[in-house]
Structure 1
Amino acid sequence: MIDQNDSRSLHAAAELFFFTYRAFTSRPDRLLAERGLGRVHHRILYFVGRHPQLAVNALLGILGVSKQALNAPLRQLVEMQLVAVEVAAHDRRVKQLSLTAAGQALEDELTGVQTQHLAAAFAAAGSEAAAGWQQAMQAILDQA
């Protein structure tokens, strides 16, 4: 248990979080770098993969970025034929995003590495610890 009044314990937890995130993202980052892509590209692929025909404006909201910040990486993914853009049938002003077969394969590879990390960690820690981790992560989100 981490003593919430002990700054050393909290700093140690923050360090662990940092190093864990680095380990969690290191292999996907290498795979992305081989293609000239970065972490933002993975986030786009991930959320478009989870929400086929996702509107660009909805993706902006999910990622919490501006149109300018999204434009270049999204354009790159479209040019690489990893993401397809279609006009929505209900409103021609709305652009909807989906993964191509190549985009889905890349997203599966990138996220597969991460889900394997999570599965191994949850198995090692046990279901009670996994539930506690999910509660802690949700509490961080709720405070943000």
Structure 2
Amino acid sequence: MNAPKALQQYKQVDIHSTVQTASPHKLISMLLTGALEAFAKGKGAIERNEIDARSSHLNKGNDILIALRDNLNLEEGGDVAANLDKLYVYMLETSLQANRLNDADKVQEIMNLLLEIKQGWDEMPIEYRNG
């Protein structure tokens, strides 16, 4: 038995199971975590001058930012949703610059913004999480 392959398959089943049973609030939290991980890996690739890995990780982070942006409810979300929309656009533009310029500081800026969003999201009172 190939242990690394079996572990990877187990992780995929576990992730799939979690996604299937997670609340919308939990799914957004998972997306924010995934974006943070992708950008952290992208930053590490920049620091190691691994061009292909940099692009791959930053592109994954961008895909998650796009998914987060696409799931904003601009009609009901008011100023918060509108501000998040602008922030996601800013992060996408910054990520493209970071990729083009091989700039770890720009990636760190994105990560700092994502950390603030995630902290606020995770601290949201329970009564507002699924309403």
Fold shared by both chains (TM-score > 0.5): no
> Would you tell me which structure has more strand in proportion to its own residues?
1
- Alignment TM-score, normalising by the size of structure 2: 0.32
Choose 1 or 2 for highest CA Rg.
Answer: 1
TM-score by length of 1: 0.30
Question: Which one has a larger percent helix, Structure 1 or Structure 2?
Answer: 2
Which structure would you say has the larger RCO, counting Cα contacts within 8 Å and 6 or more residues apart? Answer: 2
